[in-house]
A = this chain, B = another copy of it.
Amino acid sequence: MSKHTSFLRFLVLSSVLLSSVSYGSAGITSSFVRSEWPSIDIPLDNEVFAIPKGYNAPEQVHITQGDYDGKAVIISWVTPKESGPNKLQYGTSEKQYNFSAEGTTTNYTFYNYKSGYIHHCLVDGLEIGTGDSAREFWFQTPPKIDPDASYTFGIIGDMGQTYNSLSTLEHYMQSGGQTLLFVGDLSYADRYENNDVGIRWDSWGRFIERSAAYQPWIWTVGNHEIEYMPKMGEVRPFRNYLTRYVTPFAASKSTSPLWYSIRRASAHIIVLSSYSPFVTYTLQWRWLKEELTKVDREKTPWLIVLMHSPLYNSNVKHFMEGESMRAAFESWFVQYKVDLIFAGHVHAYERSYRFSNIHYNVSSGDRYPIFDKSAPVYITVGDGGNQEGLAVSFRDPQPDYAAFREASYGHSTLELKNRTHALYHWNRNDDGKKVPTDSVVFLNQYWASNLQRRRKLKKTNRRIATYL
């Protein structure tokens, strides 16, 4: 079963403007009492980590976007015993794999753990493997870049590999998400020691394959990827992560795989690294400054930013840890009217109103963040289900910027309907069931205000406005 179809485009231009993120309504702290699955990692012999059958069978298959505009994918897999043919066969209809592509192979040691052979291959269609242990996967190409392309993204953070993680992943797979935006902290392998670190990176790779082999996961780096482990002689940051999860950073003229951007359907997605240099003059700062000027809202109306450490968070855990990056980048996010900023890190769910703190300064100005219609909505989804458990204490009183917060596991979905409207849900893991809980219609920060401006103009000056 291999499909390579162009996705249908739905041009749903709604004629009604729904007001959704209006400030003034009191923020909500959900009183939901979750019944939690055990917050322990699933044992390695559980079937979710099963090693596929066959000698040297490819495993840990995952794909990510391979270029700026979604016309390519990077397909990654691991062969455990030997490098084998570093070759990928692919085609556009079942059993007709007329094309092939060659990738790169690498392996590495981490402490005494020896990884399998890690393959990364850039292609635009796929079937993986040859011979007896061939395994077949399929994926759908995204619609062409188009301002009204309808597309559904999922968002997961801080996942790990517990029973809660499994629940989140299964719910996401029922959500209809076509591409996953992963906001950092992948395997939590750094909670282990010595060779178990590498082993738990492998098990996580097999764990997510059920989704990540069939649709792109867009990667953001988190603090659990740093893995500075001097006792084991491992001091180079991000080693396991960088070797296993690659990103198309060069396509967006980035100099590091840790920050980059992609365009997909009607979205321009910017991925930032909380744990790399980002202040004025640094390479990430220079790159972001340049990249924001390249965003074309006429082509990609939805401007979305991903990072691990949230800039706004009212949980007791990690409160104001994102201040350094907020000080560096918030004014740009307001200036460029970013629609949504997704982060993880805090093991709970939180959504903000449109607030900014860009008028604060150390000698005069506003005291606190204030309502700002040009500001992004900040959403924290660090509730993927890892073994560290939930961050259950929210700050009291609830700050004005905090619209909705709840300490449960779950994931989010963002359905871009057209250039003006998007339907958003946070989906709670409720006793193993997926329950859409925080549902919001977002108006596009560029087009919705344009529409409003046009209408106002029409009303007040109908004759002049006829050409609009």
- Residue-wise interface mask of A (253-285) relative to B, using a CB-CB cutoff of 8 A (1 in contact, 0 not): 001000000000000000000111111111100
Contact across chains for A363 and B314 when beta carbons are under 8 A apart: yes
Q: How many angstroms between the C-alpha atoms of A312 and B324 in the bound complex?
A: 15
Q: How many angstroms between the C-alpha atoms of A397 and B276 in the bound complex?
A: 36
Contact across chains for A281 and B328 when beta carbons are under 8 A apart: no
Contact across chains for B324 and A283 when beta carbons are under 8 A apart: no
Beyond A357-B362, A367-B367, whether A321 also contacts B226 by CB under 8 A is no
Contact across chains for A278 and B362 when beta carbons are under 8 A apart: no
Complex contacts, A323 vs chain B, CB 8 Å:
323-324, 327-328, 362
- Tell me if A289 counts as interface (CB < 8 A to partner B): no
Contact among B274, B279, B399 with A325 in the assembled complex (CB-CB below 8 Å):
B279
Q: How many angstroms between the C-alpha atoms of A281 and B228 in the bound complex?
A: 9
Contact across chains for B324 and A286 when beta carbons are under 8 A apart: no
- Tell me if A99 counts as interface (CB < 8 A to partner B): no
Which residue, of A277, A324, A362, A368, has the highest number of chain B Cβ atoms within 10 A?
A: A362
Contact across chains for B369 and A321 when beta carbons are under 8 A apart: no
Q: How many angstroms between the C-alpha atoms of A223 and B283 in the bound complex?
A: 11
Q: How many angstroms between the C-alpha atoms of A286 and B223 in the bound complex?
A: 12
Number of interface residues of A (CB under 8 A): 41
- Tell me if A395 counts as interface (CB < 8 A to partner B): yes
Q: What is the total number of copies of this protein in its complex?
A: 2
Q: How many angstroms between the C-alpha atoms of A401 and B361 in the bound complex?
A: 13
Beyond A228-B286, A283-B228, A363-B314, whether A324 also contacts B278 by CB under 8 A is yes
Q: How many angstroms between the C-alpha atoms of A367 and B320 in the bound complex?
A: 15
Contact across chains for A279 and B275 when beta carbons are under 8 A apart: yes
Complex contacts, A465 vs chain B, CB 8 Å:
none
Q: Report the nearest B residue to A309, measured CB to CB.
A: B279
Q: How far is the CB of A232 from chain B (nearest CB, A)?
A: 14
Q: How many angstroms between the C-alpha atoms of A319 and B327 in the bound complex?
A: 12
Contact across chains for B321 and A279 when beta carbons are under 8 A apart: yes
Q: How many angstroms between the C-alpha atoms of A110 and B255 in the bound complex?
A: 18
Contact across chains for B274 and A279 when beta carbons are under 8 A apart: yes
Contact across chains for A282 and B278 when beta carbons are under 8 A apart: no
Complex contacts, A255 vs chain B, CB 8 Å:
228, 235
Contact across chains for B280 and A362 when beta carbons are under 8 A apart: no
Q: Report the nearest B residue to A328, measured CB to CB.
A: B324
Q: Report the nearest B residue to A395, measured CB to CB.
A: B363
- Residue-wise interface mask of A (362-373) relative to B, using a CB-CB cutoff of 8 A (1 in contact, 0 not): 110001110000
Q: How many angstroms between the C-alpha atoms of A73 and B252 in the bound complex?
A: 45
Which residue, of A223, A235, A309, A324, has the highest number of chain B Cβ atoms within 10 A?
A: A324
- Residue-wise interface mask of A (275-314) relative to B, using a CB-CB cutoff of 8 A (1 in contact, 0 not): 1111111110010000000000000000000000100101
Contact across chains for B321 and A324 when beta carbons are under 8 A apart: no
- Tell me if A85 counts as interface (CB < 8 A to partner B): no
Contact across chains for B279 and A324 when beta carbons are under 8 A apart: yes
Complex contacts, A279 vs chain B, CB 8 Å:
274-275, 309, 321, 324-325
Complex contacts, A282 vs chain B, CB 8 Å:
226, 275
Q: How far is the CB of A341 from chain B (nearest CB, A)?
A: 15
Q: How many angstroms between the C-alpha atoms of A319 and B331 in the bound complex?
A: 14
Complex contacts, A395 vs chain B, CB 8 Å:
363
Complex contacts, A38 vs chain B, CB 8 Å:
none
Q: How many angstroms between the C-alpha atoms of A401 and B362 in the bound complex?
A: 9
Complex contacts, A226 vs chain B, CB 8 Å:
281-283
Q: How far is the CB of A237 from chain B (nearest CB, A)?
A: 6
Complex contacts, A286 vs chain B, CB 8 Å:
228
Interface residues of A in 345-360 (CB under 8 A from B): 357
Q: How many angstroms between the C-alpha atoms of A280 and B223 in the bound complex?
A: 9
Complex contacts, A309 vs chain B, CB 8 Å:
279-280
Q: How many angstroms between the C-alpha atoms of A318 and B362 in the bound complex?
A: 13
Q: How many angstroms between the C-alpha atoms of A368 and B362 in the bound complex?
A: 6
Q: How many angstroms between the C-alpha atoms of A228 and B280 in the bound complex?
A: 13
Beyond A228-B283, A228-B286, A324-B279, whether A312 also contacts B274 by CB under 8 A is no
Q: How many angstroms between the C-alpha atoms of A135 and B328 in the bound complex?
A: 48
Contact across chains for A223 and B321 when beta carbons are under 8 A apart: no
A-B interface, 5 closest residue pairs, ranked by CB to CB distance from nearest = A363-B399, A323-B327, A324-B324, A223-B281, A324-B327
What are 7 A-B contacts with C-beta separation under 8 Å? Answer: A223-B280, A235-B255, A275-B279, A279-B325, A312-B362, A323-B323, A323-B328
